């Protein structure tokens, strides 16, 4: 699946932010978790503010809070700024999911619940601003009442509560406060639904990101305290008032339109947002197939269950007469990300046409056509990484895979045994993976022995994992140049000209019964891989 234009825009922004914060701490990669983190900050600061809020004197009590030099002032500011940060982070998170094509199929539940969560955050914020009962609250309340009165819901127009012929009753602020507390509680339930279909959901950003953000917002709240707008006066049309644009962005639009038009426009917007999963779903012919399991070769090791980012694989009792368990894919939850492909030592799982055996067949075809030499670097990358551009810039050979997380380590081994001097695996940055943990698992499989691990017989000096998004081709290009010179040095040092032969010798020692003739041929030919017929069949012996 090719990246859409919005992803290229996102990747450019990510690349820029990566240069400032590094990919590890890029806040854009943690946008969803930052939203939850900010909601936690809102909860804590909100409890403090609740202790001092008085229903009978809303404005006066908030003013007293704002005058508390050592507590209330900055806590109120942090409460406000954290809510703003939550809105920004949620909007970024939604855009990321859309741009990365992560909004349809089994992920539709997360998208729809996310839209509802975003709406609840906005409405909850709206009630919070009403509670202050300053001029900002007055404008929000009267405009909200005007819109609600257009609906045939209440027998008496609620706008009549704001005409100024009598003071607002405490009950109004009680109901508003109740909504301000109850709505965030519903966020907890929806958040559970939101992450129900992912394994190991990350609900909070890494501590450095979270605490840096909290510290920065607190510092601003202390250094630049929030002002108190004048108290609401229903018999006065407010002049210029300070408005929080993250929650009141709709005011200039709705106030210029008749209420029915606002409702129609809002309903269309909501339908469009909820309809994104249907609108972005690929056409049936382009729909990727869910993963399937070859029960005959599945050993029941459960690694695919551990690695699946979407909790879409379970273990069930075998039905072929053998004892034990076998993996089964819950197709309704499978996003066809392919991470299970790389997790399976016996290559027993994966979407049809994209299994590890298919990958190896493609590698053989690649080797036959490209015929990489001992000084050549082969880049293995997906269409969403910088691999293509970097390969063109450097003249490196490029092998395209659907996702790095779906790459089986035997692919790398086969490329090296097929004559390539080195292999660069080019994936997305770790926290930006479209397949969530795909890059993380690939790193562990290549270098840390996670199943399906890169075999010890492979010289890992000739393998490099580079994380760079589609806009970071310069970084990948630099990595390719550096790696190529390392490979060149390896090639010339210690008779490294025969490094591939050494590899083969080690392999032969480990598997004396396999490919012995091919090894001797290779030795006789000085390790050069100029003949595709000498490419060993890794699929047969790697397990």
Partner 1 sequence: MILVTALLTLGIAAAARAPYTPAGHEQAWLRFSWRLTISAKEHCRPRTQDELDALPVHMRTPEVCTPDTATYALLTRIDDQPVETKHLARGGVKGDRPLFVLEERALPPGKHHIRVAVERRDDGDDHLIAELDTTLVLERGRVQLITLSPDGRRLEAHSTQSR
Q: Is 80 in the site for partner 1 (CB under 8 A)?
A: yes
Q: Is 221 in the site for partner 1 (CB under 8 A)?
A: yes
Which of these ranges, 197-205, 232-240, 282-290, 329-337, lies near partner 1 under the rule CB under 8 A? 232-240
Q: How far is 460 from 440, CA to CA, in rounded Å?
A: 17
Query: How many amino acids of this chain bind partner 1 (CB under 8 A)?
Result: 47
Q: Is 51 in the site for partner 1 (CB under 8 A)?
A: no
Question: Please, what is the minimum distance in Å from the beta carbon of residue 151 to partner 1?
Answer: 14
Q: Is 57 in the site for partner 1 (CB under 8 A)?
A: no
Q: How far is 122 from 90, CA to CA, in rounded Å?
A: 11
Task: Please name the residue ranges forming H helices in 100-197.
Answer: 108-132, 135-149, 170-194
Which of these ranges, 210-218, 262-270, 328-336, 517-525, lies near partner 1 under the rule CB under 8 A? 210-218
Which of these ranges, 1-9, 218-226, 476-484, 514-522, lies near partner 1 under the rule CB under 8 A? 218-226
CB-based burial of residue 85 (10 Å sphere; 0-12 exposed, 13-18 middle, 19+ buried)? buried
Report strand pairing: 325-329 vs 313-317.
antiparallel
Question: Please, what is the minimum distance in Å from the beta carbon of residue 7 to partner 1?
Answer: 23
Question: Please, what is the minimum distance in Å from the beta carbon of residue 254 to partner 1?
Answer: 12
- Of 466, 468, 380, nearest to 418 (Cα)? 380
| Token pair of 178 as six digits | 């109740």
Which of these ranges, 234-242, 295-303, 336-344, 476-484, lies near partner 1 under the rule CB under 8 A? 234-242
Q: Is 227 in the site for partner 1 (CB under 8 A)?
A: yes
Among 7, 29, 53, 81, indicate the residue that binds partner 1 (CB under 8 A): 81
Site string for partner 1, 313-342 (x = CB under 8 A): ------------------------------
Q: Which is nearer to partner 1, 243 or 481 (CB)?
A: 243
Among 56, 69, 70, 165, indicate the residue that binds partner 1 (CB under 8 A): 165
CA-CA-CA-CA torsion sign (140, 144, 145, 150): positive
CB-based burial of residue 163 (10 Å sphere; 0-12 exposed, 13-18 middle, 19+ buried)? exposed
Q: How far is CA 484 from CA 164, 238, 430, 487, in A?
A: 77, 68, 23, 5
Token pair 């790459």 is found at 407
Distance linking the first and last C-alpha atoms of the chain: 30
Q: List, as one string, the DSSP characters of 155-167.
A: SS-GGGGGSSSSP
Among 167, 171, 271, 286, indicate the residue that binds partner 1 (CB under 8 A): 167
Q: Is 163 in the site for partner 1 (CB under 8 A)?
A: yes
Q: List, as one string, the DSSP characters of 456-499.
A: TTS-GGGEEEEE-BTT-HHHHHHHHHHHHHHHHHHHHGGGGGGH
Q: Is 234 in the site for partner 1 (CB under 8 A)?
A: yes
Q: Quick check: helix, strand or coil at residue 399?
A: strand
Q: How far is 42 from 85, CA to CA, in rounded Å?
A: 11
Question: Please, what is the minimum distance in Å from the beta carbon of residue 262 to partner 1?
Answer: 15
Among 157, 258, 324, 395, indicate the residue that binds partner 1 (CB under 8 A): 157
Q: Is 164 in the site for partner 1 (CB under 8 A)?
A: yes
> How many residues belong to the chain?
543
Q: How far is 303 from 387, CA to CA, in rounded Å?
A: 28
Q: How far is CA 31 from CA 183, 334, 429, 455, 509, in A?
A: 21, 24, 15, 37, 50
Q: Is 240 in the site for partner 1 (CB under 8 A)?
A: yes
Among 88, 179, 274, 315, indicate the residue that binds partner 1 (CB under 8 A): 88
Question: Please, what is the minimum distance in Å from the beta carbon of residue 356 to partner 1?
Answer: 41
Question: Please, what is the minimum distance in Å from the beta carbon of residue 247 to partner 1?
Answer: 9
Question: Please, what is the minimum distance in Å from the beta carbon of residue 212 to partner 1?
Answer: 7
Among 185, 204, 237, 267, indicate the residue that binds partner 1 (CB under 8 A): 237
Question: Please, what is the minimum distance in Å from the beta carbon of residue 53 to partner 1?
Answer: 19
Q: Is 238 in the site for partner 1 (CB under 8 A)?
A: yes
CB-side neighbour CA atoms (13 Å) of 148: 15
Question: Please, what is the minimum distance in Å from the beta carbon of residue 223 to partner 1?
Answer: 9
Q: Is 200 in the site for partner 1 (CB under 8 A)?
A: no
Question: Please, what is the minimum distance in Å from the beta carbon of residue 31 to partner 1?
Answer: 13
Q: Which is nearer to partner 1, 136 or 388 (CB)?
A: 136
Q: Is 241 in the site for partner 1 (CB under 8 A)?
A: yes
SS (H, E, C) 20-82: HHHHHHCHHHHHHHHHHHHHHHHHHHHHHHHHHCCCCCHHHHHHHHHHCCCCHHHHHHHHHHH
Pick out residues in 250-279 that bind partner 1 (CB under 8 A). 251-252, 255-256
Q: Quick check: helix, strand or coil at residue 315?
A: strand
Which of these ranges, 246-254, 343-351, 361-369, 506-514, lies near partner 1 under the rule CB under 8 A? 246-254
Q: How far is CA 25 from CA 212, 469, 470, in A?
A: 10, 15, 18
Neighbours of 61 (CB within 10 A): 18
Reported for 331-336, long-range contacts at CB under 8 A and 24+ positions apart, including other chains, are 331/290, 332/106, 333/106, 333/197, 334/106, 334/290, 334/291, 334/310, 335/105, 335/106, 335/107, 335/310, 335/435, 336/288, 336/289, 336/290, 336/291
Q: Is 222 in the site for partner 1 (CB under 8 A)?
A: no
Q: Which is nearer to partner 1, 59 or 483 (CB)?
A: 59
Q: Is 236 in the site for partner 1 (CB under 8 A)?
A: yes
Question: Please, what is the minimum distance in Å from the beta carbon of residue 476 to partner 1?
Answer: 23
Question: Please, what is the minimum distance in Å from the beta carbon of residue 240 to partner 1?
Answer: 5
Among 127, 176, 248, 440, indicate the residue that binds partner 1 (CB under 8 A): 248
Q: Where on the chain is the footprint of partner 1 (CB under 8 A)?
A: 20-21, 77, 80-81, 84-85, 88, 139, 155-157, 159-160, 163-167, 212, 216-217, 219-221, 224, 226-227, 233-246, 248, 251-252, 255-256
């Amino acid at each position: 699946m090719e990246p859409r234009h919005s992803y290229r825009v996102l990747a450019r922004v990510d690349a820029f932010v990566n240069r400032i914060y590094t990919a590890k701490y890029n806040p854009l990669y943690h946008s969803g978790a930052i939203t939850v983190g900010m909601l936690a900050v809102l909860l804590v600061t909100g409890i403090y503010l609740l202790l001092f809020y008085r229903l009978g004197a809303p404005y006066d009590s908030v003013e007293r809070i704002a005058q508390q030099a050592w507590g209330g002032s900055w806590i109120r500011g942090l409460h406000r700024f954290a809510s703003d940060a939550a809105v920004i982070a949620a909007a970024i998170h939604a855009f990321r999911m859309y741009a990365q094509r992560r909004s349809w199929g089994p992920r539709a539940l997360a998208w729809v619940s996310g839209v509802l969560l975003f709406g609840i955050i906005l409405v909850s914020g709206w009630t919070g601003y009403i509670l202050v009962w300053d001029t900002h609250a007055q404008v929000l309340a009267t405009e909200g009442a005007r819109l609600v009165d257009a609906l045939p819901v209440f027998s008496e127009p609620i706008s009549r509560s704001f005409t100024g012929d009598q003071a607002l009753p405490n009950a109004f602020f009680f109901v508003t406060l109740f909504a301000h507390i109850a709505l965030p509680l519903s966020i907890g339930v929806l958040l559970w639904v939101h992450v129900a279909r992912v394994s190991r959901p990350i609900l909070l950003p890494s501590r450095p990101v979270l605490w840096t953000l909290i510290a920065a917002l607190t510092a601003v709240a202390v250094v630049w305290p929030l002002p108190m707008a004048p108290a609401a006066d229903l018999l006065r049309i407010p002049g210029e008032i300070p408005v929080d644009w993250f929650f009141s962005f709709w005011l200039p639009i709705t106030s210029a339109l008749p209420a029915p038009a606002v409702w129609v426009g809002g309903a269309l917007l909501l339908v469009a947002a909820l309809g994104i999963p249907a609108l972005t779903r690929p056409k049936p012919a382009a729909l990727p197939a869910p993963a399937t399991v070859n029960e005959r070769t599945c050993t029941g090791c459960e690694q695919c269950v551990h690695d699946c980012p979407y909790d879409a694989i379970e273990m069930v009792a075998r039905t072929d007469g053998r004892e034990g368990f076998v993996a089964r894919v819950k197709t309704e939850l499978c996003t066809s990300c392919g991470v299970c492909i790389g997790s399976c030592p016996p290559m027993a799982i994966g979407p049809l046409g994209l299994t590890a055996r298919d990958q190896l067949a493609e590698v053989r075809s690649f080797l036959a056509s490209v015929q990489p030499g001992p000084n050549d670097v082969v880049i293995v990358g997906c269409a969403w990484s910088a691999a293509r551009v970097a390969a063109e810039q450097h003249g490196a050979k490029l092998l395209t895979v659907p996702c790095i997380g779906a790459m089986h380590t035997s692919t790398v081994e086969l490329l090296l045994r097929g004559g390539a001097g080195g292999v660069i695996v080019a994936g997305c940055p770790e926290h930006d993976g479209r397949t969530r943990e795909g890059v993380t698992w690939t790193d562990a499989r290549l270098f840390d022995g996670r199943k399906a691990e890169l075999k010890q017989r492979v010289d890992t000096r000739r393998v490099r994992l580079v994380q760079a998004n589609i806009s970071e081709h310069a970084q990948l290009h630099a990595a390719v140049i550096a790696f190529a010179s390392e490979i060149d040095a390896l090639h010339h040092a210690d008779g490294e000209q025969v490094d591939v032969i050494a590899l083969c010798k080690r392999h032969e020692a480990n598997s004396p019964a396999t490919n012995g003739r091919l090894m001797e041929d290779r030795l006789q030919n000085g390790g050069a891989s100029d003949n595709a017929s000498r490419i060993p069949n890794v699929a047969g012996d790697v397990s």
